[in-house]
Amino acid sequence: MLAILFVIAPLLSVIIRVPWSDFWSSLNTTAVRQSLVISIQTSLIAALLAAVLGIPLSWWLARTNSKVSRVIRTICIAPMVLPPVVAGIALLAAFGRRGVLGEQLFNLWGISLPFTKTAVVLAQVFVSMPFLILAVEAAFRQTDEGLEDAARTLGASPTRIFFSVVIPSVRPALLAGVVLAWARSFGEFGASITFAGSFPGRTQTLPMSIYEIASYDYRQALVVSVFMMFVSVAVLAGMRESWASGRTR
Amino acid sequence: MKLLPVSDTEVSPRILKVSRGTADKVFRGVVLAGAMFSVAVLGLICAFLLYRGFEIFKDFGFSFFTSSRWEAAADDGSSPAHYGVAAMLVGSIVVATIAVVLAVPFAMSVALYLEYYAPQFLKRTLVSILDLVASIPSVIWGIWGYTILMPHAMGWSKTLNHWLGWIPIFKVPVPIFERSPFIAGTLLAMMILPIITSVTREVYSQAPRDQVDAAYGLGSTKWGAIKTVVLPFGKSGLVGGTMLGLGRALGETIAVYLVLNLVFKVNFHILASVGGNVASMIATKFGEAGPYELKALMAAGLVLFLLTLGVNFLASAIVNRSKKIA
Amino acid sequence: MSLSVVGHIGKGTHTIPIDVTVEAGEVLGIAGRNGVGKTTLMETIAGIVPLLSGSLSFDGVTWDDASQKVWKSPEQRRCAVVFQDLRLFPHMSVLQNVMFGLRSRGISKNEAQSTARMKLDLVSAEHLVHRKAMGLSGGEAQRVALARAIAAEPDVLLLDEPLSAIDAGSREQLRSVLADVLSAFPGVALLVSHDAKDLTSLATRTLTLG
Q: Hey, are the CB atoms on B253 and A236 less than 8 Å from each other? A: no
Q: Say if residue A244's pLDDT is above 80.
A: no
* A249: three-class secondary structure by DSSP: coil
Nearest-Cα distance to chain A for C48, in Å, is 7
Would you say how long chain B is, in residues?
A: 326
Residues 179-208 of chain A with CB under 8 A from chain B are 180, 183-184, 186-190, 193-194, 197, 207
SS3 C191: strand
Which of C82, C91, C134 to probe by mutation at the A interface, max A CB count within 10 Å?
Answer: C91
Which region among A159-173, B207-221, C84-98 has the lowest average model confidence (pLDDT)?
A: B207-221
Q: Using a CB-CB distance cutoff of 8 angstroms, which residues of chain B are in contact with residue A98?
A: 291
Mean pLDDT calculated for residue range B130-143: 78
Query: How distant, in Å, are the alpha carbons of B85, B93, B150 from that of B273?
Result: 19, 16, 12
Residue C189 forms beta bridges with which residues?
C27, C157
The sheet with strand C61-65 has its strands ordered as: C14-23, C2-11, C53-58, C61-65, C70-71
CA distance B309 to C168: 62
Bridge partners (DSSP) of residue C29 are C191, C206
- Residue B253 clears pLDDT 70, i.e. is over it: yes
CB C106 within 8 A of CB C64: no
Question: Is the whole-model pTM more than 0.80?
Answer: no
* Rounded Cα–Cα distance for residues A159 and A188 (Å): 34
Q: A: neighbours with 3+ CB pairs under 8 Å?
A: B, C
From CA A93, how far away is CA A95, in angstroms rounded? 6
| C65 contacts on B by Cβ (under 8 Å) | none
Contacts of A56 in chain B (CB under 8 A): 30-31, 34-35
Helix runs in B135-263, H state only: 138-144, 150-164, 181-205, 209-217, 222-225, 231-251, 254-259
* Beta carbons of B42 and A79 less than 8 angstroms apart: yes
Asked if C181 contacts C146 with a C-beta cutoff of 8 angstroms, the reply is yes
**pLDDT category, B17, cuts 50, 70, 90?**
low
Q: How far is CA B178 from CA A113, B156, B161, in A?
A: 39, 11, 13
- Out of A13-27, B147-161, B272-286, pick the least confident: A13-27
Cβ distance of C148 and A154 shorter than 8 Å: yes
CA neighbor of B113 nearest in space, from B133, B130, B96, B134: B130
For residue C108, the surrounding DSSP H or E stretch is: none
Q: Is B174 helix (H, G, I), strand (E, B) or coil?
A: coil
Give the lowest-confidence range in A124-128, A152-156, B53-57.
Answer: B53-57
Quick one: pLDDT at residue A45? 93
Q: Is C6 left (phi over 0), alpha (psi -120 to 50) or beta?
A: beta
**Residue C190: which pLDDT band, with cuts at 50, 70 and 90?**
very high
First to last CA, chain A: 33
End-to-end C-alpha distance for chain B, whole angstroms: 51
Whether C100 and A164 lie within 8 Å, measured CB to CB: yes
B20 neighbourhood in chain C, CB within 8 Å:
73
Q: Residue C83: helix, strand or coil by DSSP?
A: strand
The whole-number pLDDT of residue B193 equals 86
Which residues does chain C have within 8 Å of residue B19's beta carbon, measured at their own beta carbons? Answer: 73
pLDDT at residue number A29: 76
What is the β-pairing status of strands C156-160 and C79-82?
Answer: parallel
Cβ–Cβ below 8 Å for A13 and B148: yes
User: Chains near C, with 3+ CB pairs < 8 A?
Assistant: A, B
Q: Touching B: which chains, 3+ CB pairs < 8 A?
A: A, C
Q: Are the beta carbons of C66 and C50 closer than 8 angstroms?
A: yes
Could you give the strand order of the β-sheet that contains C27-31, starting from the edge strand earlier in sequence?
C79-82, C156-160, C188-192, C27-31, C205-208
Note whether B282 contacts A52, CB cutoff 8 Å. no
Mean pLDDT of B221-243: 77
Q: How far is CA B186 from CA B108, B131, B190, in A?
A: 17, 20, 7
CA atoms within 13 A on the CB side of B13: 6
C-alpha neighbours within 13 Å on the C-beta side of residue B239: 17
User: In which band, very low, low, confident or very high, does the pLDDT at B247 lie, cut at 50, 70 and 90?
Assistant: confident
pLDDT at B170 over 70: no
Phi (first) and psi of residue C15, to 5 degrees: -120, 150
| Res. C30: pLDDT tops 80 | yes
**Confidence bin at B9 (pLDDT 50/70/90):** very low
For residue C159, pLDDT beyond 90: yes
Residue type, A52: V
B168 pLDDT above the threshold of 70: no
Q: Would you say residue B151 has pLDDT above 60? A: yes
Whether A12 contacts chain B with CB within 8 A: no
Q: Between these two residues, C174 and A219, which has the higher pLDDT value? A: C174
Q: How far apart are the first and last CA of chain C?
A: 27
The 3-class SS string of B1-67 reads: CCCCCCCCCCCCCCCCCCCCCHHHHHHHHHHHHHHHHHHHHHHHHHHHHHHHHHHHHHHHCCHHHHC
B210: number of Cβ within 10 Å? 9
